[in-house]
């Protein structure tokens, strides 16, 4: 039996990272859904790591994401102040390790200088426009943030909050209960 057949269809995450004018923000909504039912509206899917210098947000299976975040923390201890190297090393392990490759989650990882999307197929992607998003409402939040990032007078946190509000209005798997972390 495949993993997707053994477990219920859990949805409901939007994670957005915005970097603008030297400020980095990661925001995540709080909704977790099973099928057509909202089972929790206040989940915390954004965490600070490495003594508060790194922020990670996750989409997908919570247990799988926590496993990956623990592994990322170990990589950050191994490569302090080298976020890109820690992310690449995690992605390499994720892709090649027999246990890890079964994990169903995605991460957005950011520090004050960089944002990376890390996937289980070995991708470590740095966005071209200082905006990255994952999860069910990720594309809605990404499009809104890309447009809002060009508006003068809005800082990174304002862009993230407005883009997440737009995603919550469009995506039924996204709510307005936000966790926002700023560097």
Instruction: Count CB-CB contacts under 10 A for residue 6.
Output: 7
62 is catalytic: no
With contact defined as beta carbons under 8 Å apart, do 131 and 23 qualify? no
Consecutive H or E run containing 177? none
CA dist., res. 85 & res. 78, Å (int): 10
Catalytic-role residue among 13, 14, 24, 117: 13
Q: According to the 3-state scheme, what is the secondary structure of 86-143?
A: HHHHHHHHHHHCCCHHHCCEEEEEECCCCEEEECCCCCEECCCCCEEEEECCHHHHHH
What are the residue numbers of the active site? 13
């Amino acid at each position: 039996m495949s993993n997707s057949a053994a477990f219920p269809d859990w949805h409901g995450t939007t994670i957005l990272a915005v970097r603008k004018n030297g400020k980095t923000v990661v925001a995540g909504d709080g909704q977790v859904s099973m099928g057509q039912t909202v089972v929790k509206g206040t989940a915390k899917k954004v965490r600070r790591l490495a003594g508060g210098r790194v922020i990670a947000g996750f989409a997908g299976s919570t247990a799988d994401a926590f496993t990956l975040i623990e592994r990322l923390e170990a990589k950050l201890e191994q490569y302090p102040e080298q976020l890109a190297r820690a992310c690449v090393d995690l992605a390499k392990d994720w892709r090649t390790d027999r246990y890890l490759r079964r994990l169903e989650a995605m991460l957005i990882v950011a520090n004050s200088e960089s944002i990376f999307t890390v996937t289980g197929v070995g991708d470590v992607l740095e966005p071209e426009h200082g905006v990255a998003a994952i999860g069910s409402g990720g594309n809605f939040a990404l499009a809104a943030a890309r447009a809002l990032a060009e508006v003068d007078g809005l800082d990174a946190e304002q862009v993230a909050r407005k883009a997440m509000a737009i995603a919550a209005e469009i995506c039924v798997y996204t709510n307005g209960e936000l966790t926002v972390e700023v560097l």
